């Protein structure tokens, strides 16, 4: 590594995360459900896999895809998140490995993909309610409802992350419980032969892959809250482990029920079809329960995603990548300006369709993940002996091999993107490439104040984990 001028390694986990107050940090159980809502929120939204590829490929997808994508991403998040347990997460990882310019690009692409993703949830929430309240189907009532819902959920984030964490636990139980009941009711009606139905000549690969990818990514989002986690070097890996199991089960078993207990009609398998299956199996009461659970699930996903997005902006400000006012905290310890910016983005993007939102966020997310994989491998090569409270075994070769399957998958997802989504996403990437130099110019001219928190270890002068 060359001459270090007497510098000594210091584990970043030993450096206290800066906090403006003594608000309680997030413990294991709330963290598991926060991750659950960052990634999943329940089986709502998986129906399109059956529509695109049939029961067999849908079931196999939710068994195989986690091994190719979810497990590697969760493992990398556990290692890197415990190395850098501060708000900013993957932005700090990439900055440490590739420099602040690329760290900013990582933050821009991940924040934008998160805000695009969050724009989906108020819309889906209202879609599940419009059968009971037809006025919410469109027009001014729908616009006002989106605004009101966004404001209410934004206020929950403002009041404090610990509240958000325990709300996530409650909402998670409410989201899963009706499918447990549905599973018990469906046992006499299950026909295993239905699970094996497949038509390899009639598969919409674009819809299939995008739906799988959307439902099983964002494991790294929890890293932007690492500074708010109690004892992150132990809590974060455990929470990711249990969350992977919870997410896979929450997808696979409802699909087993739906495809095995009801005759197959592929065209019917679109968003909201689980509520129809509930009516077929249990009646109107079960359908209402599933619709309520779906609405609650969308609320939980919104809350968890906004927490991640806003704390990411706070972490970037603490690293001097954004103006200092982004680091301002509310009396509840939450990132006030980050929440306001994220909420504004959600409102502006809520007019997009479900398919456009999923495709656009997947495209931007893929670019961000490529930078994460490069940073992960590069830090292994450059600083193999740096303290890692959680370390994936296998050395540098193992790190490279771990990244190959998800990297190939990224290439496949990008290849299936439409021209429209590709152009819009590349324009968004180009904005980030220009925005960082503009912010540096503003800093140089002292038009806005930028500062690096004195509590954070230096990741630029002598490399990561050096003091």
Local mean pLDDT, 10-residue blocks, the chain (467 residues):
31 39 74 90 91 96 96 96 87 92 94 87 75 75 86 86 71 90 95 94 91 92 87 92 96 96 92 89 92 84 85 90 93 90 83 70 90 96 90 93 95 85 89 96 94 74 44
Position 119 in a domain: yes
- Give the separation between CA 384 and CA 42, rounded to whole angstroms: 38
Position 18 in a domain: no
What element of type H or E holds 151? helix 139-159
What's the domain count of the chain? 1
Position 241 in a domain: yes
- Give the separation between CA 111 and CA 314, rounded to whole angstroms: 12
- Give the separation between CA 465 and CA 97, rounded to whole angstroms: 11
- Give the separation between CA 350 and CA 25, rounded to whole angstroms: 31
Position 190 in a domain: yes
- Give the separation between CA 42 and CA 36, rounded to whole angstroms: 8
Task: Identify the pLDDT of residue 370.
Answer: 95
Position 20 in a domain: no
- Give the separation between CA 168 and CA 305, rounded to whole angstroms: 11
- Give the separation between CA 327 and CA 341, rounded to whole angstroms: 13
Q: Are 18 and 318 in contact (CB under 8 A)?
A: yes
Question: Which 3 state secondary structure label does DSSP give 456?
Answer: coil
Q: Are 368 and 425 in contact (CB under 8 A)?
A: no
- DSSP 8-state assignment for residue 23: P
Q: What angle do CA 302, 307, 310 make, to 5 degrees?
A: 115
Could you tell me which residues are beta bridge partners of residue 9?
466
- Give the separation between CA 165 and CA 187, rounded to whole angstroms: 34
- Give the separation between CA 102 and CA 85, rounded to whole angstroms: 19
Query: Smallest Cα–Cα separation from 339: which of 167, 170, 164?
Result: 164
**Nearby residues of 241 by Cβ (< 8 Å), 6 or more positions away:** 74, 78
Residue 333 main-chain phi, psi, to 5 deg: 85, 5
- Give the separation between CA 440 and CA 457, rounded to whole angstroms: 21
Position 6 in a domain: no
Q: What angle do CA 84, 90, 91 make, to 5 degrees?
A: 100
Position 207 in a domain: yes
Query: Smallest Cα–Cα separation from 416: which of 179, 105, 206, 184?
Result: 206
Q: Are 185 and 286 in contact (CB under 8 A)?
A: yes
DSSP 239-294: HHHHHHHHHHHHHHHHHHHHHHHS---GGG-STTHHHHHHHHHH-HHHHHHHHHHH
Question: Which 3 state secondary structure label does DSSP give 429?
Answer: helix
Position 58 in a domain: yes
Task: Identify the pLDDT of residue 20.
Answer: 41
Task: Identify the pLDDT of residue 459.
Answer: 62
Q: Are 414 and 421 in contact (CB under 8 A)?
A: no
Task: Identify the pLDDT of residue 5.
Answer: 32
Q: What's the CATH number where 343 sits?
A: 1.20.1740.10
**Nearby residues of 326 by Cβ (< 8 Å), 6 or more positions away:** 313, 314, 316, 317, 335, 337, 338, 341
Query: Residue 202's domain spans which residues?
Result: 28-445
């Amino acid at each position: 590594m060359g001459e270090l001028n007497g510098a000594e390694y210091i584990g970043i986990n030993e450096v206290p995360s800066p906090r403006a107050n003594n608000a309680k940090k997030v413990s294991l159980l709330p963290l598991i459900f926060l991750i659950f809502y960052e990634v999943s929120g329940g089986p709502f939204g998986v129906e399109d896999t059956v529509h695109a590829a049939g029961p067999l490929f849908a079931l196999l997808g939710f068994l195989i895809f986690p091994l190719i994508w979810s497990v590697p991403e969760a493992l990398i998040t556990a290692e890197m998140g415990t190395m850098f347990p501060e708000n900013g997460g993957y932005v700090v990882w990439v900055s440490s490995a590739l420099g602040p310019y690329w760290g900013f690009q990582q933050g821009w692409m991940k924040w934008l993909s998160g805000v695009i993703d969050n724009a989906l949830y108020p819309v889906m929430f209202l879609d599940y309610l419009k059968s009971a309240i037809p006025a919410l189907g469109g027009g001014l009532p729908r616009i006002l409802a989106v605004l009101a819902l966004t404001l209410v959920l934004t206020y929950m984030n403002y009041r404090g992350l610990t509240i958000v964490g325990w709300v996530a636990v409650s909402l998670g139980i409410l989201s899963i419980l009706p499918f447990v009941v549905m599973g018990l009711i469906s046992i006499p009606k299950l026909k295993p032969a239905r699970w094996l139905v497949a038509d390899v000549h009639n598969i919409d690969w674009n819809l299939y892959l995008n739906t799988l990818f959307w439902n099983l990514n964002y494991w790294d989002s929890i890293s932007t809250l690492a500074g708010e986690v109690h004892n992150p070097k132990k809590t974060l890996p455990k929470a990711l482990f249990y969350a992977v199991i919870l997410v896979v089960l929450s997808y696979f078993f409802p699909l087993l029920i739906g495809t095995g207990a009801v005759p197959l009609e592929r065209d019917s398998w679109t968003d909201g079809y689980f509520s129809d299956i509930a009516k077929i199996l249990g009646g109107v009461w079960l359908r209402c329960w599933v619709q309520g659970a779906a609405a609650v699930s969308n609320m939980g996903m919104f809350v968890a995603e906004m927490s991640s997005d806003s704390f990411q902006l706070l972490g970037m400000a603490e690293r001097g990548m954004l103006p200092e006012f982004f680091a301002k905290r509310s009396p509840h310890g939450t990132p006030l300006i980050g929440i306001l910016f994220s909420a504004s983005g959600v409102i502006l993007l809520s007019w997009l369709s479900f398919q456009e939102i999923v495709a656009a966020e997947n495209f931007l997310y893929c670019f961000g993940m490529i930078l994460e994989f490069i940073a992960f491998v590069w830090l292994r090569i450059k600083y193999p002996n740096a303290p890692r409270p959680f370390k994936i075994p296998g050395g540098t070769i193992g790190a490279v091999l771990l990244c190959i399957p998800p990297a190939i998958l990224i290439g496949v997802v990008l290849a299936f993107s439409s021209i429209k989504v590709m152009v819009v996403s590349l324009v968004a990437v180009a904005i980030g490439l220009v925005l960082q130099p503009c912010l540096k110019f503003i800093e140089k001219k002292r038009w806005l104040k930028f500062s690096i928190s004195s509590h954070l270890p230096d990741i630029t002068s002598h490399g990561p984990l050096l003091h």
